[in-house]
Copies of this chain bind each other. A is one copy, B any other.
Amino acid sequence: MTGEQGQPAFVLVRPQMGENIGAAARAMWNFGLDRMRLVEPRDGWPNPASVAMASGAGRLLDGAQLSQDVPEAVGDCDLVLATTARARGMTKPVYSPEAAMRAARERIDAGGRVAVLFGPERAGLENADVAVANGIISVPVNPEFPSLNLAQCVLLCAYEWRRAAGEVVDERVELAGAEWASTIEVEKLAEHYEGRLDEAGFFFPDHKAAAMKLTLRNLWSRMPLTREDVKTLHGVMRQMVRWKERG
């Protein structure tokens, strides 16, 4: 599913600090993306500061494709999405990161090639860069503090790619390896407690006993108990009885 062609290229356009290129590489690889492209990095290429920062994701820098301008960088792609802070009145579809990466997934599954553009640290993409794109990605930041940096923007898009790629079991991944107690096991636990608490005089006064027993039954049945939990809770009660019997 994620062969050479099975993922979008992330294109850093005129990035300034080498460290940020390295941090972007890490953010990509955190979510399994390794196709980086660079357009006119300010401090030339290769860049030792990038390598130092990328530790563990240096392979992405080695494999990065270098281009003179945006049209050249995305020439082989048929869906190009530009990340921008403001949509700036451009008449283009604006996607959330989630919708964008879903669209990227669909296009790639259909045999297409996708690029995502990220602008320079301070200024962001220029209008001429955005003009090449088919759509805009806008991260839903706090309007009072819309200060995502380059690597953070890359991180969020990479994260959404991984979610869209379906490599993520999205819902609650249930208790890894846990075995849930069966109803009959919970029932026996309830009986154990009920029996011992009866002996111990817990269900008092008499006319409240039935309601108290029901409360306790509901408590056990409502809990997400594993087999281990049930064993532990049996152990708790058994020990209290043993303690009593030792006198």
Q: Which of B30, B94, B229, B240 contacts A142 (CB 8 A)?
A: B30
Interface: A19 (CB within 8 A): no
Closest to A95 in B: B172
Closest to A98 in B: B170
Q: Which of B146, B170, B219, B237 contacts A232 (CB 8 A)?
A: B219
Distance A148 CA – B57 CA, assembled complex (angstroms): 12
Query: Across the interface, do A172 and B91 meet the contact criterion of CB distance under 8 Å?
Result: no
Query: Across the interface, do A199 and B142 meet the contact criterion of CB distance under 8 Å?
Result: no
Which of A95, A159, A229, A247 gathers most chain B CB within 10 Å? A159
Copies of this protein in the assembly total 2
- Chain B residues near A215 (CB-CB < 8 A): 228, 232
Binds B, one of A35-43, A105-113, A175-183: A175-183
Query: Across the interface, do A30 and B146 meet the contact criterion of CB distance under 8 Å?
Result: yes
Known: A138-B173, A224-B224, A243-B201. A147 touches B26 (CB 8 A): yes
Binds B, one of A71-79, A115-123, A160-168: A160-168
Distance A96 CA – B200 CA, assembled complex (angstroms): 44
Closest to A27 in B: B152
Distance A94 CA – B222 CA, assembled complex (angstroms): 19
Closest to A212 in B: B232
Min C-beta distance of A31 to chain B, whole Å: 6
13 A–B contacts from the bound complex (CB under 8 Å): A26-B145, A30-B146, A93-B224, A95-B173, A96-B170, A99-B170, A140-B166, A159-B159, A193-B236, A197-B239, A201-B242, A219-B232, A240-B241
Residues on A facing B (Cβ under 8 Å): 26-27, 29-32, 56-57, 87, 89, 91-96, 98-99, 138-142, 144-148, 152, 155-156, 159, 162-163, 166-178, 193, 196-197, 199-202, 215-216, 219, 222-224, 226, 228-229, 232-233, 235-237, 239-244, 247
11 extra A-B contacts, CB within 8 A, seeds A200-B242, A223-B223, A240-B241: A30-B146, A31-B141, A93-B175, A94-B175, A95-B173, A99-B171, A99-B172, A156-B159, A199-B243, A202-B239, A215-B228
